Chains A and B, each alone.
Chain A
Amino acid sequence: MPVLHRPGLRASSWRKISKLVAFLACNMGFSLALKTGGVIPFMYCHGCPLAAFACPIGALQHFIGLGEAPLLVAGSLILAFLLLGRSACGWLCPFGALQDLLARPGEAGARQDGRWDVKLRYLKLLILLGALSSSFALSGPTFCWVCPIGALFAGIPYLLAHPGWRPGPAFYIHMAILVLVLLLAVRIPRAWCRYLCPLGAISGCFNKVSLLGIELDEARCTRCLACLRACPMGLTSLGQIGSSPECVLCAKCLDACPSGALKATFRTGIGG
């Protein structure tokens, strides 16, 4: 099983580079030829004037709204999540990166009150089911009508690119939702990813079987729990690292571990 993490090569540096590259790649559609029909494994609105790829949730809703099976979108997502698990949230998603920037220093591993935190994490599943079923019922991308990521990456750039455009009430509703989500992210690290992201509800289910993962060497672990204190998703036990649907495989735990007991792995064999 190849070990991806090497001593001296901090995951945080690679994470910053990958987030920047992903953001630039999403925005390379400055000519029609560069606007592809590819689906990315994280949410980025294809209503953005420079978008080069399709938002997976937007595309799923689009096909379901048309009454067609979203085969290409589903196949692309299953393949991406089988390989990467939920790591696109931790390493590529621009909205996740923004939330990481907004989180107050020292708040990274802040755990919320257990009872409502666990219950609220089911909310993203309900949002996913609600978005898909309402898209089918109303024949339109209903979640896009309230999506804060669309507001940030499509609404604001569109307004800047077209100064004469007079936004309607829907634009201000979008902005209000965006502000609320960002304020929540200041208080609770990665609040959107924890409680609200419908794509995270799908990708998290693949963490248990994804080829990319994080593994704990029990023999080297000193149980200092520095990994859990560094976790932006608020994981509460060592067993959840890498396999819980809530883990975004951001590898902040790898950087935090003083004994090098955690390592990123690509599980190529049958076992593991």
Chain B
Amino acid sequence: MMDHFRLATIYEYLFWDSALRRETFPFKVNI
């Protein structure tokens, strides 16, 4: 239960962080 609480809190941080960098999916990949 508390693992879920902590993971969701980490996602909250990542949400702000990815918004700052306007992070999108890397559609162009070199295979």
Bound pair (A, B):
no
